[in-house]
Amino acid sequence: MKQHKKGLALWLTAILLLLAGALLTGSPGRAEGVQEAMRDAVLHNVNQISLFGWKTVNPGMISAFTVTAVLLLAAACLRIFAIPRFQMVPGKLQLLLEETVGLFDRMARTNSPHRFGFLGAYIFSAGAYIFVGTLFELLGLQAVTTHGTPVTLPAPLSDVNAAIALGTLSYLVILSGGVTANGAKGVGKTLKEFSLPISMSFRLFGALLSGLLVTELVYYFVHLSFVLPVVVGVMFTMLHALIQTYVLTMLTALYYGEVSEPSHS
């Protein structure tokens, strides 16, 4: 008991010493003000990263490639090591994989009962991309900008280009469903929802960017960097990772089902 108290006191002292050290040491001075930092988080026109020396891209582009690489690597590992060992009575990992695949497959079947094969595969990958991409910002991976300063890699979809790409790609997938099922009529049905790519893109962008801005703001000030990030950084990120995944996949499946429904002449 005495030893336990001693350990606790030591731990608290270490924390207080580190806090005092952090506050007293001070920072070498910021390269940018909070307005500049937040403006750059939206526009990405200052901190850019060189893509293999070919082109300067937004940090979100690097995040997107990293997320894809991580997902494909994990998928390859699962394909090689886990899937061949699947049993009729599933274990924990198998159950998780089956539930994830089954969730998107069921979503596709339910919302688009006439045509769901490709839709299931697309919303599965889009869902995985949004979910893992949003959680990716929690890792706080660093990259070096073209100016030689480090920058934390953000969630890919907090980059407007990534959000537009995913929104328009989802719209094109919906259009392809309409064309395949109903030909020219399907095109008409899809074009009727002309606001869809914009709403999908900017919904994603807005949701992810707001998270990024709040996190940026919180970390900008040292005195806000204790305890608060646990709530705004982790819980909010996890929550909107789930919500945005659900919203985009559900909307895509819903509109896909609507335009691919055989027309009754």
Partner 1 sequence: MNIPLNIDWQQILLHWMNLAILTGGLYFLLFKPVKQFMEKREAHYKDLDAQAAGKLEEAERVKAEYQARLAGAEEEIHQSRIKAQAAVQQSAEEQLAQAQAQAKQIIAHAQAEAEHSRERVMRESQKELRKLAAEAARKLAVQADPFSQFLDLAEGGRHEER
- Our finding on whether 130 is near partner 1 (CB under 8 A) is no
Q: Which of 11, 81, 86, 226 binds partner 1 (CB under 8 A)?
A: 86
- Our finding on whether 248 is near partner 1 (CB under 8 A) is no
Alpha carbon distance 35, 43 (integer Å): 12
- Our finding on whether 95 is near partner 1 (CB under 8 A) is no
**57 in helix, strand or coil?**
strand
- Our finding on whether 68 is near partner 1 (CB under 8 A) is yes
Alpha carbon distance 193, 195 (integer Å): 6
Please check whether residue 114 is in contact with residue 129, taking contact to mean a CB–CB distance below 8 angstroms.
Answer: no
Enter the tokens of residue 133: 């991409």
From residue 144, alpha-carbon distances to 98, 212, 255 in Å are: 39, 19, 41
- Our finding on whether 50 is near partner 1 (CB under 8 A) is no
Please check whether residue 236 is in contact with residue 156, taking contact to mean a CB–CB distance below 8 angstroms.
Answer: no
**In the complex, minimum distance from the CB of residue 133 to partner 1, in angstroms, rounded to a whole number:** 10
- Our finding on whether 65 is near partner 1 (CB under 8 A) is yes
- Our finding on whether 145 is near partner 1 (CB under 8 A) is no
Q: Which residues bind partner 1 (CB under 8 A)?
A: 42-45, 55, 57-58, 61, 64-65, 68, 71-72, 75-76, 78-79, 83, 86, 88, 97-98, 101-102, 104-105, 120-122, 124-126, 128-129, 156, 159-162, 164-166, 168-169
